[in-house]
Chains A and B, each alone.
Chain A
Amino acid sequence: QKEVEQDPGPLSVPEGAIVSLNCTYSNSAFQYFMWYRQYSRKGPELLMYTYSSGNKEDGRFTAQVDKSSKYISLFIRDSQPSDSATYLCAGLTGGGNKLTFGTGTQLKVEL
């Protein structure tokens, strides 16, 4: 079983839509949860991270973690064509440096 499961998509939404991206994980030792964004032919770029359970908001982006159900979510409000990219969730154990990634969800926001 993969430690982090993520629906690969692709997911296509109209501009302005609310996007919900989700992951599940199995490693109970994860304490930090990251969302990375990766544009084509580029490396992953950290969008935001959360520690343990709870919500974190940054502009149009909101990350949620529910440790009881081992569920990670990223919401994008007022989606823009420039949000079109692959979104990767990742887990990190406390004190660890080794990121464990999901496969990524490809998102396309259409005009």
Chain B
Amino acid sequence: EAGVTQFPSHSVIEKGQTVTLRCDPISGHDNLYWYRRVMGKEIKFLLHFVKESKQDESGMPNNRFLAERTGGTYSTLKVQPAELEDSGVYFCASSTGTNLDTQYFGPGTRLTVL
């Protein structure tokens, strides 16, 4: 069974540009999460989807970030316009949604904003 996949693995953009990150969860996982790790800091929660609905978006830093999960399958996270402080590693995780189910993480997308 394929794990959580993320694309691209690495993105380098200039300040002010737009970047879209993609996450494909494990097949059948209704829950999808986005997390971010800024250099030197801990991994922080961004938001949580249950199927196509946003369950919790309390960690989204500001309105330059837009997450979507149309059809309840893959998800995209768009940053527009990107700022220097958006640099970091963006992780996606998925889970089945049962009580205390394991969140399976993807390898992350390393975003560098110059």
Contact = CB atoms under 8 A, between A and B. Distances in A.
Contacts, number: 53
B103 interface: yes
The interface size bin for chain B is 20 to 34
B64 to A, nearest CB: 21
A45 B105 CA distance: 7
B94 to A, nearest CB: 11
The interface size bin for chain A is 20 to 34
B100 interface: yes
28 contacts: A2-B42, A36-B105, A41-B107, A42-B107, A43-B93, A43-B106, A44-B43, A45-B105, A46-B103, A46-B104, A51-B100, A92-B100, A97-B31, A97-B48, A97-B56, A97-B103, A98-B48, A98-B56, A98-B59, A99-B43, A99-B45, A99-B103, A100-B45, A101-B43, A101-B44, A103-B42, A104-B42, A104-B43
Interface of B: 4, 31, 33, 35, 40-45, 48, 55-56, 58-59, 91, 93, 95, 100, 102-108
